[in-house]
Amino acid sequence: MRVIAGSARRLLLKTVEGTDTRPTTDRTKETLFNMLQPHIGDCRFLDLYSGSGAIGIEALSRGAQMAVMIEEAPRAVACIRENLERTKLEDRAMVMNCDVMAGLRKLEGRNYQFDIVFMDPPYNHEYERLVLDYLAHSPMITEDTLIVMEASKETDFGWLKASGYHLIKSKEYKTNKHVFAGRGE
């Protein structure tokens, strides 16, 4: 796995050993960031269920102002920190070693507001809905915040509208998909 573009372009990233994380393939990451590119410059990026940190690091490499990465697994957090050091992007990143919901509660009082929220939770546990229900009335996101969720192809997002979000688009791959959503109608 590598950084696709930007200041850390071509640098190899470490991945977490074992099956606890699912690294996003370079091809899928490239497709995702081609869609995100108009929104990345100087954005504030929130990466939930960060794994190796590859998505947040890609955002930083491409010009994001800052990235907050929340990951619970200590081995994954160590991997994120090593990848940030390798890419020399640690000065614009904050890594939180905690459960995503606990991390969101900790961020709430710090006056953070994010332009892009990316999440890649374990598939088929409805963590996306739990996070979006929490963020629905949070000052951390606005009507302009772009929310991107990586999920299994089978994951149903029919609940988005009832939770106060609208579907912007969905991009399917062989085994998974990216769903883009925003707050409000």
Is 105 part of a structural domain of the chain? yes
Answer whether residue 62 is part of any domain.
yes
- Asked, for residue 60, whether it belongs to a domain, the answer is yes
For residue 18, is it within any domain?
A: no
**Mind listing the pLDDT tens digit for each residue in 65-90?**
999 999 999 999 999 999 999 999 99
Number of domains in the chain: 1
- Please give the pLDDT value at position 23: 67
**128 within a domain of the structure (yes/no):** yes
Q: Is residue 4 part of a domain?
A: no
Q: Return the pLDDT at 19.
A: 55
137 occurs within a structural domain: yes
HEC secondary structure over the chain: CECCCCCCCCCECCCCCCCCCCCCCHHHHHHHHHHHHHHHCCCEEEEECCCCCHHHHHHHHCCCCEEEEEECCHHHHHHHHHHHHHHCCHHHEEEEECCHHHHHHHHHCCCCCCCEEEECCCCCCCHHHHHHHHHCCCCCCCCCCEEEEEEECCCCCCCCHHHCEEEEEEEECCCEEEEEEEECC
Q: In this structure, is residue 14 part of a structural domain?
A: no
Q: What is the pLDDT of residue 3?
A: 72
What is the pTM (predicted TM-score) of this model? 0.93
Domain range for 83: 26-172
pLDDT tens over the chain, length 185 residues: 877 878 877 777 888 876 566 667 778 888 999 999 999 999 999 999 999 999 999 999 999 999 999 999 999 999 999 999 999 999 999 999 999 999 999 999 888 999 999 999 999 899 999 999 999 989 999 999 999 999 999 999 999 999 999 999 999 998 899 999 999 76
Would you state the pLDDT for residue 20? Answer: 60
The CATH number for 135's domain is 3.40.50.150
